[in-house]
Structure 1
Amino acid sequence: MLDKELIRQRLLQRARELVPVLRERAPQAARAGRLAEETLRDFHDAGFFRILQPARWDGYELEPQDFFEVQMTLAEGCMSSAWVLGVVAIHNWQLALFDDRAAQDVWGEDSSVLISSSYMPVGKVTRVEDGFRLSGRWGFSSGSQHCQWAFLGAMVPPAEPGGAPDYRTFLVPRHDYSVLANWDVMGLEATGSHDVLVEDAFVPEYRTHRSIDGFMQNSPGNAVNTAPLFRIPFGQIFVRAVSSSTIGALQGAIDLFGEVNRQRVGVNDGRKIVQDPGAQTALANAMVTVDECKTVLLRNFALMMQRARDGQPLTMAERVKMRYDSAIVPDKCAQAVAALMYNSGAASIFREHGLNRAFRDIHTGRAHVANCPGKYALNLGAVSMGQDSSDFFL
């Protein structure tokens, strides 16, 4: 029997120990366009990828709050590293929702095998006996060079004329796709979020996961993975994987801002930065932003898990609100880190400056489609006034 509290403490301690290590590795990882192999080994050795993995496949089956505490901590040192962990480790949770034969394919010989993804629904699908033929090119597959399988999104055409298309995640092995190295960006450089190309690969039915099953919290994998952890909505946990690292990156920027400016004196006017109202305000607002964003995240997942344990699903209104709670985080963090950078003097314009890196990483994370809060704000407002939800990735 796993002592989960001891595991939680050990994971958080190891994450905290890795913060300065990741900060030191960040410049080289950015230049290489991928995480250092030492970082992947550190994450594997620490057990970070297993936090939400099913116990029957050597996972810890901890709660989302535990996972995101680790991710946010690691992001204080390197947001790219935390981003890759967030996205890739969430796949170990989603695989538990598939028919169990899919998990056997991936983890049957090695339960440490990793999965990358691109959920954009661009795949071309043809129905064939026992499954599908899949082709397409997907973008933004973070950590793809470190993974042996990929989750890829596509709309399955209706089986009968006039039926509705069916969005699914397709699980594809490495020998059936190519990674096309094209990641040349302003931030999150080390995530290696390259394109993935599939040319007419066969995907058996059992290696697909229907979005509607995830939405209804009644997936094939729930027959064997019965913990409440696997009864929370996929849409809620995945979006946090691409927003929550901005909270940790902002905290890292706050720490660096204090360290850099505590003794700094303006070259032009000789004034101490600690006495500058602009610097004081920027720091105060950033600190409050971290506290607010982290508090809401942990509160929401605590509610989700309690509902899952009680067998009571979230209401649509709650899902819509939580969806917006996630989307607004990177926007708030981007505004806060911009103010910190603007109040750090001309030195912060250099690419290797820690605040410059945090600025670029957070703004790049903000560009993810799940982190653009506008449409989620409109949906929340509409639902709150009695309209139907226009979003079902909830």
Structure 2
Amino acid sequence: MAHEVVNRIEELGPELAALAEENEALGKLSNKTVDLMRSAGVIRLLQPVEYGGFAAHPRDFAESVMALAQRDGAAGWVAGVVGVHPWELAQMDPRVSQEIWGENPDTWVASPYMPNGVADPVEGGYTLSGRWPFSSGSDHCDWNFLGALAGNGKGKPAQPPAVLHVVVPRSDAPIQEDTWDVIGLSGTGSKDVVVDNAFIPAHRVVDQTEIQTGVAAARAGRTETLYKLPFTSMFPLGITSAVIGICEGALALHMSQQRDRVAVTGVQVKDDPYVLYAAGEAAAEIQASRVHLIDGISRLYEKVEAGGEVTVEDRSVVRRNQVRAAWRAVSALDEIFARSGGNAPRRSNPLQRYWRDAHVGLSHMIHVPGVAYHANSLATMGLDLAAPMVGLT
């Protein structure tokens, strides 16, 4: 049974799809799109119930992102990225949740997590400086999750390196306009943000390893299964869901356009077995991607709920399949796009936007297969993984 948020997105589908072209032209989501997303509650799916959230099964989150991306890839992408942040906030000091959601449970938090700054320890907290690209949805977010290297007290990274996640108000992380000029996912508005020597109270900072290992969730008193899941399984979930949803939307549009298309040979496409073969195969591959992704996170959820411990090998399998799901879906999209006819690349045809959005989504570092596949092979053989590899698994 579909979650109520998924049902709302389905109902709003035509409106969301009609706004996709405007979002691309704006280089960010329109206010109307954001209003629709807020009314659907998609960003609150992983938010704790005491702050107006659903604390839903991650499967429901993935399906909502896919449903949104089917209509507008940029909106789905923002939902997939921004929608994971409430999950992590729930594991931090309760003061952070109160600051962000105390007055408005629909307050959004952007990111990125890449450690592009240094958080230097000072009395009561840290000072933070740096520049972060790819802050998706930042125009509509009042806070940012920023990755940073722990400092040594002198403005330089401490040794050995430690990655911190730092929560920063928008006033301390101004958006740098004209920093998101791209060929796909333009509507995500994934612009740069800059922080210049801002003071960050200690309660707004958490060590990345504490989120990954469940230490933060336990310290925060979180007993819900949702908040015991690994960061490296949850964070990729939203991003890959968006890519699969984009491919699902492209497939649906391709099929509707091919129904009455006549090729230059004069043959109706519905009578062309080669095009239909490719469409059928692509449909199966995209469906397999959806099932594979949701199966992985669901298996982890079930294991944690039953009191089991998620091992590095468990995580590596989920990451391997998550990466493969994205590549499988986009490869299938390539096959049908190549058979969609000469009108497919026209700017007036939304199919070309789906195709561009999917490829830009695939380029995210979370979809790079090398480390994911390598780590899974080592873990499956019972061999140790190097520390940096464990952090990405």
Could you tell me how far apart the structure 1 residues matched to 2:194 and 2:288 are? 40
Residue correspondence of structure 1 range 157-168 to structure 2 within 5 A = 157=151, 164-168=160-164
Match of residue 303 from structure 1: 299
Could you tell me how far apart the structure 2 residues matched to 1:366 and 1:328 are? 11
Residue correspondence of structure 1 range 193-342 to structure 2 within 5 A = 193-219=190-216, 222-267=219-264, 269-342=265-338
Aligned residues: 387
Distance 1:379 1:224, change over 3 A: closer
Matching residue's letter, 2:319: R
Could you tell me how far apart the structure 1 residues matched to 2:384 and 2:3 are? 42
Residue 163 of structure 1 deviates from its aligned partner by: 5.1
The match for 1:360 among 340, 349, 356 is 356
Could you tell me how far apart the structure 2 residues matched to 1:47 and 1:146 are? 15
Match of residue 386 from structure 1: 382
Match of residue 149 from structure 1: 143
| 3-state DSSP of counterpart to 1:125 | strand
Matching residue's letter, 1:254: L
Matching residue's letter, 2:172: D
Could you tell me how far apart the structure 2 residues matched to 1:16 and 1:315 are? 36
The match for 1:34 among 28, 31, 38 is 28
Matching residue's letter, 1:80: A
Could you tell me how far apart the structure 1 residues matched to 2:368 and 2:191 are? 21
- Kindly indicate whether the alpha-carbon contact (under 8 Å) linking 1:81 and 1:191 is maintained by their aligned counterparts in 2: yes
Deviation by residue 1:203-234 (Cα, 9 ceiling, x = unmatched): 11111121111121120575343211111111
Deviation by residue 1:14-70 (Cα, 9 ceiling, x = unmatched): 111222222211111100011121111111112222111001111111110011111
Deviation by residue 1:243-287 (Cα, 9 ceiling, x = unmatched): 1111111111111111111111112x1122123343123212221
Could you tell me how far apart the structure 1 residues matched to 2:158 and 2:356 are? 46
- Kindly indicate whether the alpha-carbon contact (under 8 Å) linking 2:149 and 2:158 is maintained by their aligned counterparts in 1: no
Match of residue 11 from structure 1: 5
Matching residue's letter, 2:250: A
Could you tell me how far apart the structure 1 residues matched to 2:280 and 2:152 are? 53
Deviation by residue 1:65-93 (Cα, 9 ceiling, x = unmatched): 01111111111111110110111111111
Residue correspondence of structure 1 range 67-78 to structure 2 within 5 A = 67-78=61-72
- Kindly indicate whether the alpha-carbon contact (under 8 Å) linking 2:217 and 2:228 is maintained by their aligned counterparts in 1: no
| Structure 2: runs of 5+ lacking an equivalent | none
Matching residue's letter, 2:131: R
Could you tell me how far apart the structure 2 residues matched to 1:375 and 1:163 are? 24
The match for 1:88 among 42, 58, 82 is 82
Deviation by residue 1:84-142 (Cα, 9 ceiling, x = unmatched): 01111111111111111111221122221110001111102221112111000001000
The match for 2:172 among 176, 201, 208 is 176
| TM-score for the superposition, normalised by structure 2 | 0.94
Match of residue 124 from structure 2: 130
- Kindly indicate whether the alpha-carbon contact (under 8 Å) linking 1:100 and 1:221 is maintained by their aligned counterparts in 2: no
- Kindly indicate whether the alpha-carbon contact (under 8 Å) linking 1:187 and 1:363 is maintained by their aligned counterparts in 2: yes
The match for 2:60 among 63, 66, 72 is 66
Deviation by residue 1:278-315 (Cα, 9 ceiling, x = unmatched): 31232122211222111122222222212222232211
Could you tell me how far apart the structure 1 residues matched to 2:224 and 2:139 are? 31
Could you tell me how far apart the structure 2 residues matched to 1:68 and 1:74 are? 10
Does residue 100 of structure 2 align to residue 101 of structure 1?
no
Could you tell me how far apart the structure 2 residues matched to 1:301 and 1:241 are? 11
Could you tell me how far apart the structure 2 residues matched to 1:357 and 1:376 are? 28
Matching residue's letter, 2:368: C
Matching residue's letter, 1:240: L
Matching residue's letter, 1:387: L
What RMSD over aligned residues (CA atoms) do the two structures have, in Å? Answer: 1.9
Matching residue's letter, 1:362: A
Could you tell me how far apart the structure 1 residues matched to 2:139 and 2:241 are? 23
Match of residue 112 from structure 1: 106
Distance 1:352 1:225, change over 3 A: farther
- Kindly indicate whether the alpha-carbon contact (under 8 Å) linking 2:286 and 2:328 is maintained by their aligned counterparts in 1: no
Could you tell me how far apart the structure 2 residues matched to 1:226 and 1:341 are? 46
Identity of aligned residues (%): 33
Match of residue 343 from structure 2: 347
| 3-state DSSP of counterpart to 2:115 | strand
